[in-house]
Structure 1
Amino acid sequence: MTVVTTSDTPALTHLRHDGTAAMVDVSDKAVTTREATATGTVTTTPAVMQLLGTGGLPKGDALAVARIAGIMGAKKTPDLIPLCHPLPISKVTVDFELGDTAVTILATVKTRGVTGVEMEALTAVSVAALSVYDMIKAVDKHAVISGIQVLAKSGGKSGDWAISEGTPA
Protein backbone atom coordinates (compact mmCIF):
# COMPACT_ATOMS: atom_id res chain seq x y z
CA MET A 1 0.00 0.00 0.00
CA THR A 2 1.37 3.41 -0.94
CA VAL A 3 0.40 6.52 0.96
CA VAL A 4 -0.23 9.35 -1.49
CA THR A 5 -0.24 12.94 -0.33
CA THR A 6 -0.60 16.19 -2.18
CA SER A 7 -0.24 19.74 -0.99
CA ASP A 8 -3.99 19.63 -0.22
CA THR A 9 -3.89 16.25 1.54
CA PRO A 10 -1.88 15.94 4.75
CA ALA A 11 -0.04 12.69 5.41
CA LEU A 12 -1.92 10.23 7.59
CA THR A 13 -0.03 10.21 10.86
CA HIS A 14 -1.11 6.74 11.97
CA LEU A 15 0.32 4.97 8.93
CA ARG A 16 3.91 3.90 8.40
CA HIS A 17 5.56 4.28 4.99
CA ASP A 18 4.36 0.80 4.02
CA GLY A 19 0.73 1.61 4.89
CA THR A 20 0.51 -0.40 8.11
CA ALA A 21 -0.98 1.10 11.26
CA ALA A 22 1.29 2.64 13.86
CA MET A 23 0.96 4.66 17.03
CA VAL A 24 2.32 8.18 16.55
CA ASP A 25 5.52 8.98 18.44
CA VAL A 26 4.68 11.98 20.63
CA SER A 27 7.81 11.85 22.79
CA ASP A 28 9.27 15.05 21.31
CA LYS A 29 6.05 17.09 21.59
CA ALA A 30 5.78 19.88 24.12
CA VAL A 31 3.63 19.44 27.21
CA THR A 32 0.81 21.99 27.06
CA THR A 33 -2.64 22.39 28.54
CA ARG A 34 -5.08 20.88 26.07
CA GLU A 35 -8.86 20.89 26.07
CA ALA A 36 -11.58 19.65 23.74
CA THR A 37 -15.37 19.90 23.74
CA ALA A 38 -17.67 17.55 21.85
CA THR A 39 -21.42 17.28 21.47
CA GLY A 40 -24.07 14.77 20.49
CA THR A 41 -27.84 14.47 20.60
CA VAL A 42 -30.38 11.85 21.64
CA THR A 43 -33.75 12.50 20.02
CA THR A 44 -36.88 10.99 21.54
CA THR A 45 -40.52 11.89 22.18
CA PRO A 46 -41.86 14.82 24.23
CA ALA A 47 -43.31 12.35 26.75
CA VAL A 48 -39.91 10.70 27.26
CA MET A 49 -38.23 14.10 27.58
CA GLN A 50 -40.70 14.92 30.36
CA LEU A 51 -39.74 11.71 32.16
CA LEU A 52 -36.05 12.36 31.54
CA GLY A 53 -36.26 15.87 32.97
CA THR A 54 -38.12 14.80 36.10
CA GLY A 55 -36.17 11.61 36.80
CA GLY A 56 -39.35 9.62 36.23
CA LEU A 57 -37.96 6.94 33.93
CA PRO A 58 -38.46 3.29 34.96
CA LYS A 59 -34.67 2.83 35.31
CA GLY A 60 -34.21 6.00 37.39
CA ASP A 61 -32.17 9.18 36.90
CA ALA A 62 -30.82 8.72 33.38
CA LEU A 63 -28.82 11.95 33.33
CA ALA A 64 -26.92 11.14 36.52
CA VAL A 65 -26.06 7.70 35.15
CA ALA A 66 -25.11 9.13 31.74
CA ARG A 67 -22.86 11.76 33.31
CA ILE A 68 -20.86 9.11 35.18
CA ALA A 69 -20.82 6.87 32.09
CA GLY A 70 -19.43 9.74 29.98
CA ILE A 71 -16.70 10.49 32.51
CA MET A 72 -15.76 6.82 32.64
CA GLY A 73 -15.79 6.65 28.84
CA ALA A 74 -13.31 9.53 28.57
CA LYS A 75 -10.98 7.77 31.00
CA LYS A 76 -11.21 4.49 29.04
CA THR A 77 -10.63 5.96 25.56
CA PRO A 78 -7.20 4.34 24.95
CA ASP A 79 -8.75 0.97 25.88
CA LEU A 80 -11.40 1.45 23.17
CA ILE A 81 -9.58 3.29 20.37
CA PRO A 82 -6.47 1.26 19.49
CA LEU A 83 -4.02 4.04 18.56
CA CYS A 84 -4.97 6.60 21.24
CA HIS A 85 -2.33 7.42 23.81
CA PRO A 86 -3.16 7.02 27.51
CA LEU A 87 -3.37 10.55 28.91
CA PRO A 88 -3.31 12.07 32.38
CA ILE A 89 -6.84 13.49 32.21
CA SER A 90 -7.20 16.33 34.67
CA LYS A 91 -10.88 17.18 34.17
CA VAL A 92 -14.00 15.81 32.47
CA THR A 93 -17.37 17.53 32.48
CA VAL A 94 -20.53 16.09 30.96
CA ASP A 95 -23.55 18.36 30.76
CA PHE A 96 -27.02 18.11 29.25
CA GLU A 97 -29.35 20.58 27.57
CA LEU A 98 -32.94 19.39 27.52
CA GLY A 99 -35.19 20.39 24.65
CA ASP A 100 -38.73 19.43 23.70
CA THR A 101 -37.73 16.27 21.82
CA ALA A 102 -33.99 15.92 22.36
CA VAL A 103 -31.22 16.02 24.91
CA THR A 104 -27.95 17.56 23.80
CA ILE A 105 -24.84 16.23 25.49
CA LEU A 106 -21.74 18.40 25.90
CA ALA A 107 -18.47 16.91 27.15
CA THR A 108 -15.27 18.80 27.84
CA VAL A 109 -12.00 17.04 28.61
CA LYS A 110 -8.81 18.70 29.80
CA THR A 111 -5.24 17.49 30.23
CA ARG A 112 -1.71 18.75 30.54
CA GLY A 113 0.13 16.53 28.11
CA VAL A 114 1.75 15.97 24.72
CA THR A 115 -1.34 15.14 22.66
CA GLY A 116 -4.91 16.37 22.43
CA VAL A 117 -8.09 15.12 24.05
CA GLU A 118 -10.53 15.27 21.12
CA MET A 119 -10.99 11.49 21.13
CA GLU A 120 -11.65 11.52 24.87
CA ALA A 121 -14.32 14.21 24.47
CA LEU A 122 -15.93 12.29 21.59
CA THR A 123 -15.86 9.08 23.61
CA ALA A 124 -17.41 10.81 26.63
CA VAL A 125 -20.29 12.10 24.49
CA SER A 126 -20.75 8.75 22.73
CA VAL A 127 -20.85 6.72 25.94
CA ALA A 128 -23.13 9.25 27.64
CA ALA A 129 -25.50 9.11 24.63
CA LEU A 130 -25.48 5.31 24.68
CA SER A 131 -26.26 5.41 28.38
CA VAL A 132 -29.19 7.80 27.84
CA TYR A 133 -30.49 5.45 25.15
CA ASP A 134 -30.12 2.48 27.48
CA MET A 135 -32.03 4.31 30.22
CA ILE A 136 -34.92 5.36 27.94
CA LYS A 137 -35.24 2.32 25.66
CA ALA A 138 -37.93 0.81 27.90
CA VAL A 139 -40.19 3.73 26.93
CA ASP A 140 -38.77 4.58 23.48
CA LYS A 141 -36.92 1.95 21.47
CA HIS A 142 -36.84 4.36 18.50
CA ALA A 143 -34.70 7.08 20.10
CA VAL A 144 -31.91 8.28 17.79
CA ILE A 145 -28.31 9.18 18.63
CA SER A 146 -26.85 11.73 16.19
CA GLY A 147 -24.61 14.70 15.60
CA ILE A 148 -21.57 13.53 17.52
CA GLN A 149 -18.73 15.92 16.72
CA VAL A 150 -15.90 17.99 18.17
CA LEU A 151 -16.97 21.59 18.76
CA ALA A 152 -13.67 23.08 19.88
CA LYS A 153 -10.12 22.29 20.92
CA SER A 154 -7.28 24.26 22.41
CA GLY A 155 -3.60 23.73 23.07
CA GLY A 156 -0.88 21.99 21.16
CA LYS A 157 1.03 22.72 17.98
CA SER A 158 -2.05 23.04 15.77
CA GLY A 159 -3.49 25.76 18.00
CA ASP A 160 -7.03 26.58 18.98
CA TRP A 161 -10.16 26.25 16.87
CA ALA A 162 -13.92 26.10 17.28
CA ILE A 163 -16.87 25.46 15.02
CA SER A 164 -18.50 28.73 14.09
CA GLU A 165 -22.08 29.44 15.10
CA GLY A 166 -24.35 28.06 12.43
CA THR A 167 -21.79 25.63 11.00
CA PRO A 168 -23.61 22.43 10.04
CA ALA A 169 -22.75 19.25 11.89
Structure 2
Amino acid sequence: MSELTHINQNGEANMVDVSAKADTVREARAEAIVTMSEQTLSLILSGDHHKGDVFATARIAGIQAAKKTWDLIPLCHPLLLSKVEVQLTPLLESNQVRIESVCKLAGKTGVEMEALTAASVAALTIYDMCKAVQKDIVISQVRLLEKSGGKSGHFEASL
Protein backbone atom coordinates (compact mmCIF):
# COMPACT_ATOMS: atom_id res chain seq x y z
CA MET A 1 0.00 0.00 0.00
CA SER A 2 1.23 3.51 -0.80
CA GLU A 3 2.02 6.13 1.80
CA LEU A 4 -0.54 8.80 2.62
CA THR A 5 0.37 11.78 0.46
CA HIS A 6 -1.21 14.51 2.60
CA ILE A 7 0.86 13.75 5.72
CA ASN A 8 4.32 15.31 6.08
CA GLN A 9 7.38 13.79 7.78
CA ASN A 10 6.15 15.16 11.14
CA GLY A 11 2.78 13.42 10.81
CA GLU A 12 0.96 16.68 10.09
CA ALA A 13 -1.63 17.28 7.40
CA ASN A 14 -0.27 19.34 4.52
CA MET A 15 -1.03 20.23 0.94
CA VAL A 16 1.06 18.20 -1.50
CA ASP A 17 3.60 20.21 -3.51
CA VAL A 18 2.87 19.49 -7.17
CA SER A 19 5.05 22.23 -8.64
CA ALA A 20 7.64 19.79 -10.06
CA LYS A 21 5.03 17.52 -11.69
CA ALA A 22 4.41 17.65 -15.42
CA ASP A 23 1.07 18.74 -16.79
CA THR A 24 -0.88 15.79 -18.19
CA VAL A 25 -4.45 15.34 -19.32
CA ARG A 26 -6.41 13.98 -16.39
CA GLU A 27 -9.99 12.78 -16.26
CA ALA A 28 -12.18 11.22 -13.60
CA ARG A 29 -15.69 9.79 -13.51
CA ALA A 30 -17.74 9.30 -10.34
CA GLU A 31 -21.28 8.28 -9.47
CA ALA A 32 -23.90 8.56 -6.78
CA ILE A 33 -27.24 6.79 -6.47
CA VAL A 34 -30.36 8.45 -5.02
CA THR A 35 -33.19 6.10 -3.98
CA MET A 36 -36.69 7.43 -3.43
CA SER A 37 -40.33 6.42 -3.63
CA GLU A 38 -42.05 5.85 -6.95
CA GLN A 39 -44.25 8.90 -6.25
CA THR A 40 -41.27 11.20 -5.67
CA LEU A 41 -39.51 10.02 -8.81
CA SER A 42 -42.74 10.48 -10.81
CA LEU A 43 -43.11 14.00 -9.44
CA ILE A 44 -39.56 14.85 -10.57
CA LEU A 45 -39.99 13.30 -14.02
CA SER A 46 -43.39 14.88 -14.67
CA GLY A 47 -41.97 18.35 -14.12
CA ASP A 48 -44.71 19.11 -11.61
CA HIS A 49 -42.40 19.61 -8.63
CA HIS A 50 -43.25 22.92 -6.96
CA LYS A 51 -39.54 23.89 -6.72
CA GLY A 52 -38.99 23.53 -10.47
CA ASP A 53 -36.75 21.32 -12.60
CA VAL A 54 -34.99 19.08 -10.07
CA PHE A 55 -32.58 17.52 -12.57
CA ALA A 56 -31.52 20.85 -14.09
CA THR A 57 -30.90 22.31 -10.64
CA ALA A 58 -28.95 19.23 -9.50
CA ARG A 59 -26.86 19.30 -12.68
CA ILE A 60 -25.91 22.96 -12.17
CA ALA A 61 -25.21 22.35 -8.46
CA GLY A 62 -22.88 19.46 -9.34
CA ILE A 63 -20.99 21.56 -11.88
CA GLN A 64 -20.64 24.44 -9.40
CA ALA A 65 -19.50 22.04 -6.68
CA ALA A 66 -16.74 20.58 -8.87
CA LYS A 67 -15.42 24.09 -9.46
CA LYS A 68 -15.49 24.80 -5.70
CA THR A 69 -13.94 21.54 -4.47
CA TRP A 70 -10.75 23.26 -3.36
CA ASP A 71 -12.91 25.50 -1.14
CA LEU A 72 -14.67 22.52 0.45
CA ILE A 73 -11.91 19.92 0.89
CA PRO A 74 -9.06 21.52 2.88
CA LEU A 75 -6.01 20.02 1.13
CA CYS A 76 -7.26 20.07 -2.47
CA HIS A 77 -5.54 22.29 -5.01
CA PRO A 78 -7.49 24.95 -6.90
CA LEU A 79 -7.86 23.59 -10.43
CA LEU A 80 -8.65 25.07 -13.82
CA LEU A 81 -11.15 22.47 -14.98
CA SER A 82 -11.61 22.23 -18.73
CA LYS A 83 -14.72 20.04 -18.52
CA VAL A 84 -17.37 19.23 -15.95
CA GLU A 85 -20.35 17.15 -16.95
CA VAL A 86 -23.14 15.83 -14.73
CA GLN A 87 -25.66 13.32 -16.13
CA LEU A 88 -28.77 12.24 -14.24
CA THR A 89 -30.46 9.02 -15.31
CA PRO A 90 -33.75 7.83 -13.81
CA LEU A 91 -33.80 4.10 -13.07
CA LEU A 92 -37.55 3.47 -13.07
CA GLU A 93 -37.43 -0.20 -12.08
CA SER A 94 -35.65 0.63 -8.80
CA ASN A 95 -36.99 4.17 -8.14
CA GLN A 96 -33.49 5.58 -8.27
CA VAL A 97 -31.58 8.33 -9.98
CA ARG A 98 -28.05 7.52 -11.07
CA ILE A 99 -25.77 10.52 -11.18
CA GLU A 100 -22.54 10.33 -13.15
CA SER A 101 -20.03 13.14 -13.23
CA VAL A 102 -16.99 13.66 -15.44
CA CYS A 103 -14.22 16.16 -14.73
CA LYS A 104 -11.24 16.84 -16.98
CA LEU A 105 -8.21 19.13 -17.16
CA ALA A 106 -4.62 19.37 -18.29
CA GLY A 107 -2.66 19.88 -15.09
CA LYS A 108 -0.39 18.64 -12.35
CA THR A 109 -2.94 16.92 -10.11
CA GLY A 110 -5.92 14.65 -10.53
CA VAL A 111 -9.62 15.49 -10.62
CA GLU A 112 -11.02 12.57 -8.62
CA MET A 113 -12.17 14.79 -5.76
CA GLU A 114 -13.87 17.17 -8.18
CA ALA A 115 -15.80 14.33 -9.81
CA LEU A 116 -16.79 12.87 -6.44
CA THR A 117 -17.86 16.29 -5.16
CA ALA A 118 -19.95 16.94 -8.28
CA ALA A 119 -21.83 13.65 -7.92
CA SER A 120 -22.30 14.12 -4.17
CA VAL A 121 -23.62 17.67 -4.36
CA ALA A 122 -25.94 16.81 -7.24
CA ALA A 123 -27.37 14.03 -5.04
CA LEU A 124 -27.67 16.36 -2.06
CA THR A 125 -29.49 18.87 -4.25
CA ILE A 126 -32.05 16.24 -5.25
CA TYR A 127 -32.55 15.48 -1.55
CA ASP A 128 -32.88 19.17 -0.70
CA MET A 129 -35.44 19.83 -3.40
CA CYS A 130 -37.49 16.72 -2.53
CA LYS A 131 -37.27 16.59 1.27
CA ALA A 132 -40.63 18.37 1.62
CA VAL A 133 -42.36 15.44 -0.11
CA GLN A 134 -40.12 12.62 1.17
CA LYS A 135 -37.71 12.70 4.09
CA ASP A 136 -36.33 9.15 3.82
CA ILE A 137 -34.57 9.53 0.45
CA VAL A 138 -31.28 7.59 0.50
CA ILE A 139 -28.02 8.70 -1.09
CA SER A 140 -25.64 5.79 -1.65
CA GLN A 141 -22.79 4.38 -3.68
CA VAL A 142 -20.82 7.58 -4.02
CA ARG A 143 -17.67 6.26 -5.66
CA LEU A 144 -14.94 6.83 -8.16
CA LEU A 145 -15.66 4.91 -11.35
CA GLU A 146 -12.58 5.70 -13.38
CA LYS A 147 -9.57 7.98 -13.52
CA SER A 148 -6.83 8.47 -16.05
CA GLY A 149 -3.66 10.52 -16.35
CA GLY A 150 -0.85 11.28 -14.00
CA LYS A 151 1.85 9.11 -12.48
CA SER A 152 -0.53 6.51 -11.03
CA GLY A 153 -2.05 5.87 -14.46
CA HIS A 154 -5.45 4.40 -15.21
CA PHE A 155 -7.91 3.12 -12.63
CA GLU A 156 -11.32 1.57 -13.26
CA ALA A 157 -13.63 0.43 -10.49
CA SER A 158 -14.89 -3.12 -10.46
CA LEU A 159 -18.53 -3.82 -9.72
TM interval, short-chain normalised: over 0.9
Q: Secondary structure, in 3 states, of the residue corresponding to 1:12?
A: coil
Match of 1:144 in 2: 138
1:57 aligns with 2:49: yes
Deviations 1:75-109 (A, max 9, x none): 00000000000111001000011012110100000
| 2:14 aligns with one of 22, 34, 39 | 22
Counterpart of 1:79, as a letter, is D
Report the secondary structure of 1:126's partner residue: helix
Equivalent runs, 1:156-167 vs 2, <5 Å: 156-164=150-158, 167=159
Aligned-residue sequence identity (percent) comes to: 55
Deviates more, 1:137-146 or 1:52-61: 52-61
User: Aligned-pair distance for 1:53?
Assistant: 1.2
Gaps of 5+ in 2: none
What corresponds to 1:47 in structure 2? 39
Instruction: Compare CA radii of gyration and give the structure with the larger one.
Output: 1
Cα distance in 2 between the residues matched to 1:91 and 1:116: 13
Shift of 1:57: 1.2
| 1:54-92 deviation line (CA, Å, top 9, x unaligned) | 221121110000000000000000000000001110010
TM-score by length of 1: 0.91
- Paired amino acid for 1:155: G
2: distance between equivalents of 1:65 and 1:157? 35
CA RMSD, 1 decimal: 0.8
| Aligned structure 1 segments of 4 or more residues deviating by more than 6 angstroms | none
> In 2, Cα distance between the equivalents of 1:159 and 1:11?
17
Of 25, 35, 58, 1:33 maps to 25
Equivalent position amino acid for 2:132 in 1: A
**TM-score normalised by length of structure 2:** 0.96
> Separation in 1 of the partners of 2:47 and 2:137?
17
Is residue 123 of structure 1 aligned with residue 155 of structure 2? Answer: no
